[in-house]
Structure 1
Amino acid sequence: MATLHTVLLVDDEATIRDGLKHMIRWEQAGFRLLGEAANGQEALTKIKELQPNIVITDLKMPQIDGIQLTTIIQQQYPEVHFLVLSSYDDFHYVSQSFKNGALDYLLKPTLTPASLLATLDKISSKITHQQGSVSEQAPIQEALNRYLAGYEEDLDTLDAYFTRPHDTHNYCLLYTNLSYFHANQQLFHALKEFTESDRSLQALPFRTSNHDAGLLIGFPENHDFLVQLRGCIAKLTYTESEAFFSLSTPFHTIDQLRPVFLRLKEKSRGQHFFYKRQRLVLETELFPYIASERFDTKKFLRALLDNNFLLGITRIEEYFNEMILSNVDPVFLKQQAGSIFYTLLSRLEEEFPNEATFSRIKNTFLREVATVRYLEDFSDLLLTTIEEIRQQLTPLSPLDEDDLLVAIQRFIQDNYTKSLSLSELADTFHFSYTYLSAFLSAKLKMSFSDYLKNIRLDKAKELLVQSDFNLSEISEAVGYSDISYFSRIFKKEFQMTPSKYRRMNQL
């Protein structure tokens, strides 16, 4: 006995529903009425419960109207077919319902048993054809699933499914992971829609026990199917906003399939993190992960133990600024952030036990960094958390900037004869290069290099007048190993050579 296709009737007028129920002999015609609903909200409950093949729905209804209902059906139940009931003045609604996937419409004023039955038969034929195609594909698709999962399979059957001539035969693999999706049926509906969008393509969906999914696509030489593929994925993202796909480079023989699959799966791991607004990424666009820069834990902990929390925060900023610009594995990046911020905030809790804010910041950050999905949001989370910590910390632990400046100036005075650099100064005082450069520029009203130059040249003038050292010895004594360079900057600063300065100022 042939399988009966099941039907749900949806209309807010009971007389219309009753009229439809008695208009044809449903089961003799090959259909079974599962039930009825008086509005879109009730219909959704019935669809979820009864899983009908066909929904016949009115367009104008209270609560959820027919347009909203067909939109939700297409998004959440893509295997359900529907036709709409309309009046003469419902053209806009009918047009919108067709955009949502309605297969046909029936005018209520001219509805007859013959027109209803003809429309249902057309939908029934489409369902039967689709079920037949699925049935034909099932063993081949299962072979593909097993092969990609690592089992040995006869590839001849799989290759024979793609019937393109050998000289125009190419493959691509579209890959995704089911963890990105709320409802798998919407994914496979989108893949099916893409397959049917271009008759020159052949495609076979796959789904492994490891949550891998996608399409094996066969296409003619020089055929560009990216426009259609991007369009189907764009529609999918209306309901599956986290959907992410990668597309392999083309390959030419089916025995390359498993290596391509394993390579693409590995290269795609975590890549959605870098693509917040791009849902389909070509294999050539995927970022190769690089070894991460090592965090200088010793300097970081030393700053925290010295209660120099602002320096500790600066070291965190410098590290993650570098990491964010690099192609670092997102899992490692988030683990590092969690560990480093946990250490900082735990130390702040210990130092300021009466400040409950640090505990709140720590708990919030650890929760959010574990679930953040994109690099852009990760960066924003770090910036806002650091800013909040600074705002809480500044009144609790003010930095004695005057004492710091005196100490730095004393150190420069004691070491100007050496090859002194700002990097060495930053390491000595446990500050970041960036912070110390800005600090000295603000306090000294000049850069570190100009300040050091002034100290050295002032000492050089003193030695030129008060000592018998020759120019080479004086140059060496004030930190310049190259006498030519020393003479050049001396003349630039004082508009005369060191020798002339000595002659003019000696008694």
Structure 2
Amino acid sequence: MSELCKVLIVDDEYLVRQGIKHLLHWEEEGFHMVGEAGNGKEALEMVATLEPHIVITDMVMPVMDGEEFVRRLKTSNPNIEIIVLSSFSEFEYVKSTFQSGVADYILKPTLETEGLLHVLRATADKIPSLRGREHSLESFTPSVDHIIDKLISGYETDTDVTNIRDSFPYDGFCLLGCPLKSLQGKKQNEIDSYKSNLLTELKDYLSPNEVRLHLIQTEPHLFIVLLNCRHTEVKQMTDILRHMLTSMREQKQGVWVLGELFQHLDQLGSIYRESFMKQMEYSFYFPEQLIIVTSELPMFPKLNTKFNLNQFTDEIKRKQSDTAFQYLQEHVEVLAAQFKNDVFEFKSFLSNIIFVIITLLDGSEVDTEELNEEKYVYFKRMEEAEYARDAVIILQTFLDKVKLMIGSVDNKDNKRVQQLLDYMHEHYAEPLTLAELSNHFHFNASYLSSYFSAHTKEGFSEYLNRIRIEKAIEMLKDDDYTISVISGSVGYSDHSYFCKVFKKFTGDSPSSYRRKFMKQEK
């Protein structure tokens, strides 16, 4: 068979890389996709290991852009041919790379199978070791990696999966995986080496049993293997995996997940996308677990987890923050126990609550300058939280700080409010209004109204009326005062309104109350 031309794809957009990977039948056309990188720096590290004949690279990328990557690659590996991907707007920029020895370019907006294949063939013909080879390999048999990759990615494959029966001879399949958290920021060759060693360790544990393992190349920081065994031996295999992971506890990367059992390889794509990757997220809610086995997950009843935001905000506005925060914490506790909740939605809810609380406090006496400066730190930490418990701790840390700030304001305000209440008791006969008192004592009128509701269990007007009616009751006990005089003396200029308010508080009119009192005195 002719030698396959090895190709490396470099583009910071995952979907673009996936699109190119599945645009044609690479191996059938005489090419082998040996790897993919997200930027020039990552690609340079991979070149030494993969030794590609051709590199297809984007121009605009983070860390190291295409222009610098092309220059460095051609300096260190002049025999590697380079094809540049570009958009129309980048064309002048792309032309500068031809001075570094770029073989050809492809416009992204017009990228299609025939055009890509034409450029690849023309470029491969420039490589001495590949010159004269057959473009199409009639006897080509797709590799296991090629078929698995097609199935995982959701692209249709016209290859009969029974052709790889020798690689997967048993009637049971399941996926096993874990996140490689400690490898964040590591070079690609280090990640590949770690995955290879981990696969070897798995094989050593499982080799005495009739189990086949195949490493699936997906995201760099995910380790996922396809297990193939007799479906009757899945329970035994699960026990072996638990024993293995217990012995590896000290080097634990994250929570492992063993997916559901399926019996046909062509189910792999749907199982991976619709089930297994969702189950991988469950580890967010089970940080103490060594392995999550899908068939052993607890059955939780579906709970109504809708948060009453109106109730929460009303309690904050009415200065009942302790009640509001207690309700929030109870709700979050319920959410954190629902492992099927979407992780992004869970984190977004907690971040949104932090934002809502700060916004509500902006209209209060609390100085929110520091909170507004720190909120983006909270958002970032929430986004990076590995587990639900970590996200809850971040929220709790925020709430603890807010409680202290509110408590500090309340302590200061208690003295000021007491002065205000004393003033109302002394000047109740005067035409007092909330706006006038707020201005006199340097309170925000809205805050003062909320404070009354929270701490006196009644509004400002009701509190003032209560003082006046209590004074009126004292005066009614003295027969020397007429009801009209009493009305004016306690602050009511409208006699009929005074009678209405008095009856609301006592259940009697002023005259009826006086008669009953006098009768009791006799």
- Interval containing the TM-score (normalised by the shorter chain): 0.3 to 0.5
Considering Cα pairs closer than 8 Å and 6+ residues apart, tell me whether 1 or 2 has the greater RCO. 2
Q: TM-score, normalised by structure 1?
A: 0.45
